[in-house]
Amino acid sequence: MREMMILPRVNRQVFLQVSAVILFILAWEFGCRLFKVPFYLIPVPSTIAVRFYESTLDLTLLRHSWITISEVVLGFCSGAIVGFVIGMIFAEFETLRVTMNPFIVATQVTPKTALAPLFIIWFGFGIASKVFIVALIAFFPVLVNTISGFHSVDAEKVELMRSYGANRFKIIRFVKLPAAFPNIFAGLEVASVMSVLGAIIGEFVGSKEGLGRLILVGGERLDLGLVFSSILVLLIIGFGLKILGDFLQKRLFFWVGR
């Protein structure tokens, strides 16, 4: 106890968090064994670990992860770029934004996943259909946050630029973009998480490969070890995105809120 008090706060937090995770896994393992839960309902962590190891070794996980990650990356990047560019145009041209508002709201309120079957029909079972779904999902948060980011720029800063005789492009480049960047980044973070979701749902609806497909196949065969292994990969991807996001946030936006 005394030693714990001396530890710096961050180390103490890490210690507590790691302990909680280990406790959870142990409780899962021994709880399932104790109550004799059938392995085809809830596999124990050790089974999952073995299955994870096997399917990594025969490259199954890797191959399917690669497909899903490609869909996420391609879809996210194209959706984010289009969302950012259109958001910037809408933020700069208020009349255009107001005119197009019904479409913005429509893309906002329609559950994008409901469109997944259409994309499968249009673009087939390959990765193209999933890339489109992910792009559509990633598009919206980036669009909205780009607009709100541009609108949140201090009028004073724009005035300052105008006092230098700066034109629209210079105002965007020197003031609006950097000032809006934290907002845009928040949109990117949301979009990245939702992109993974979009890819999996797209794969559920119709696909030949990918982690979503692997989960479906595993479920049909009652190979829950494989299902959980796939989920574990998704968990790792999710954590990776979060850690990357937090890291960039600290580095890039040290000035926010000061």
Partner 1 sequence: MKMAVASINWQISAKGLGVIYDTRDGPVEALADFSFAAEPGSFTTIVGPSGCGKSTLLRAIGGLTKPSSGRVQFKTDNGSSGEKNLYGMIFQRPVLLPWLTVIDNVLLPIKVFGYRVANYRNQAIELLKMVGLDDFLKKYPYELSGGMQQRVAIARALVFDPRVLLMDEPFSALDAITREQLNDQLQKLWLQTGKTVLFVTHSVNEAVFLGTSCIVMTERPGRIAKIVNIDVPMPRQLKQVQGDLADYILQVRRALEGDAGDDDIAKGK
Note the residues at the interface with partner 1 (CB under 8 A). 154, 156-157, 159-166, 170, 174-175, 178-179, 254-256, 258
Work out how close the CB of 68 gets to partner 1 at its nearest, in angstroms, rounded to a whole number.
Answer: 35
The residue (of 97 and 170) whose beta carbon lies closer to partner 1 is 170
In the complex, minimum distance from the CB of residue 251 to partner 1, in angstroms, rounded to a whole number: 12
Residue 82 CB, nearest distance to partner 1 (Å)?
Answer: 26
Q: How many other CB atoms are there within 10 angstroms of residue 175's CB atom? A: 17
42 close to 231: Cβ distance less than 8 angstroms? no
| Nearer to partner 1 (CB atom), residue 151 or residue 170 | 170
What distance in Å separates the CA atoms of residue 176 and residue 167, rounded to the nearest whole number? 12
Considering beta carbons, is residue 1 or 155 the nearer one to partner 1? 155
Q: How far apart (Å, rounded) are the C-alpha atoms in residues 79 and 135?
A: 4
Please tell me the number of Cα atoms within 13 Å of 31 on its side-chain side.
9
Q: Which residue lies nearer to partner 1 by CB, 33 or 162?
A: 162
Give the residue with the Cβ less far from partner 1, 2 or 251: 251
Q: How far apart are CA 106 and CA 141, in angstroms?
A: 13
d(CA 125, CA 129): 7
Taking the complex as a whole, how short is the minimal distance between the CB of residue 147 and partner 1, in angstroms?
Answer: 20
Q: How far is the CB of 92 from partner 1 (least distance, A)?
A: 18
CA distances from 10 to 161, 236, 247 (A): 42, 22, 15
Does residue 167 sit in helix, strand or coil? Answer: coil
